[in-house]
């Protein structure tokens, strides 16, 4: 998908989810990147997990929320210390999305609202991004109830599309901090008509960034790692048209709706289960619950068409 002057569309985002690291260092780097995007007029979506909202000061959130090129997004409350797939069905995931996580008890507090509820008190942004193991068609329907309209996911599709009323932008699987040079990143971007790329600022500080990882080492070349990612972003900005995710409607043909058929069902299933082998999940994890949910919703959609 190209703009009228021939530039490919690229969306840049950051995932803010780490709570075990040094909050001062993590917040300082987040602000540093915010200033970087602002100074160079580069659009960037900042996806903040529900649990990370509690460790960001109101001043930081307020500052980012009013910056022209920064768009806050919701990164789900399922980035928590309870392994979401071990919960009992989608209702448990919905419960997790609406309640505050208690770091001391390592559980969600049924009497304290948090997650999507807290995010909505802060922002009316229509963009969200959830872990592959958390999303299903039911999850999309749930997010729509909170005014969400756009997301990006790792899916084997070459362009933006509409599904269940959500506009979906494919994302390059590897985060920016995993690339060593622009040519490697460019090769990945060129596979898509329009695509999202993302980074984890915390992973530029620590060798472990997932929010369950207490054991981690601090890199001794943090400044070099940060500079490399910034150079990658500058190269992207020079070569492509960069946008915030919610602007994709200005370039995207809304008639391009993914059909409800077996091919789509398989595509969604593959995307949903692609990262089930990651260390974030229990060894040999398998969830028929999630698969059944996808199939049930997909077939229900087909019957209604």
Please report the pLDDT score of residue 272 as a whole number. 80
Please report the pLDDT score of residue 191 as a whole number. 94
Half-sphere exposure for 78 (CA within 13 Å, toward CB): 23
Please give the CATH architecture assigned to the domain spanning 9-254: Alpha-Beta Barrel (3.20)
Cα distance between residue 26 and residue 303, in whole Å: 48
Please, what's the b/e burial string for 172-197 (b: 16 or more CB within 10 A of its CB; e: otherwise)?
beebbbebeebeebbeebeebbbbbb
Cα distance between residue 33 and residue 44, in whole Å: 10
Nearest to 7 by CA among 182, 241, 251: 241
Domain ranges of the chain: 9-254
Q: How far, in whole angstroms, is CA 285 from its chain's centroid?
A: 22
pLDDT in tens, the chain (305 residues): 656 566 899 999 999 988 878 889 999 999 999 999 999 999 999 999 998 888 888 888 988 988 889 999 999 987 755 555 455 667 777 888 999 888 778 788 899 999 999 999 999 999 999 877 777 788 888 999 999 999 999 888 889 988 888 999 999 999 999 999 999 999 999 999 999 999 999 999 998 766 555 678 899 999 999 999 999 999 999 999 999 999 998 987 766 777 777 888 888 888 888 777 766 666 677 778 778 877 887 777 665 55
The reported pTM is 0.91
Please report the pLDDT score of residue 82 as a whole number. 53
Please report the pLDDT score of residue 209 as a whole number. 67
Cα distance between residue 243 and residue 279, in whole Å: 32
The rounded radius of gyration (Å) of the Cα atoms in the chain is 19
Q: Which residue has the tokens 């969830």?
A: 287
């Amino acid at each position: 998908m190209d703009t009228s002057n021939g530039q490919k569309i690229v969306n840049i985002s950051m995932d803010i989810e780490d709570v075990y690291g040094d909050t001062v260092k993590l917040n300082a780097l987040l602000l540093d990147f915010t200033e970087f995007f602002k100074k160079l007029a580069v659009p960037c979506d900042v996806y903040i997990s529900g649990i990370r909202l509690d460790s960001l000061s109101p001043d930081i959130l307020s500052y980012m929320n009013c910056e022209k090129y920064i768009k806050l997004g919701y990164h789900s409350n399922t980035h928590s210390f309870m392994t979401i797939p071990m919960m009992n069905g989608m209702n448990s995931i919905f419960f997790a999305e609406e309640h505050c996580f208690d770091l001391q008890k390592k559980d969600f507090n049924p009497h304290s609202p948090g997650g999507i509820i807290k995010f909505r008190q802060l922002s009316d942004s229509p963009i969200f991004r959830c872990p592959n193991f958390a999303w299903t068609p039911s999850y999309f329907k749930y997010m729509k109830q909170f005014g969400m309209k756009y997301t990006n996911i790792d899916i084997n599709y070459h362009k933006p599309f509409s599904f269940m009323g959500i506009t979906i932008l494919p994302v390059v699987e590897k985060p920016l901090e995993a690339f060593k040079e622009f040519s490697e990143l460019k090769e990945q971007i060129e596979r898509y008509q329009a695509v999202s790329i993302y980074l984890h600022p915390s992973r530029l500080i620590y060798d472990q960034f997932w929010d369950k990882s207490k054991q981690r080492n601090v890199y001794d070349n943090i400044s070099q790692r940060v500079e490399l990612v910034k150079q990658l972003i500058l190269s992207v900005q020079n070569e492509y048209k960069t946008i915030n995710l919610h602007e994709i409607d200005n370039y995207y043909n809304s008639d391009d709706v993914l059909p409800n058929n077996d091919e789509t069902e398989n595509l969604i299933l593959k995307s949903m289960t692609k990262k089930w082998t990651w260390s974030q999940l229990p060894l040999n994890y398998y969830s028929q619950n999630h698969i059944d949910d996808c199939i049930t919703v997909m077939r229900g959609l087909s019957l209604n068409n």
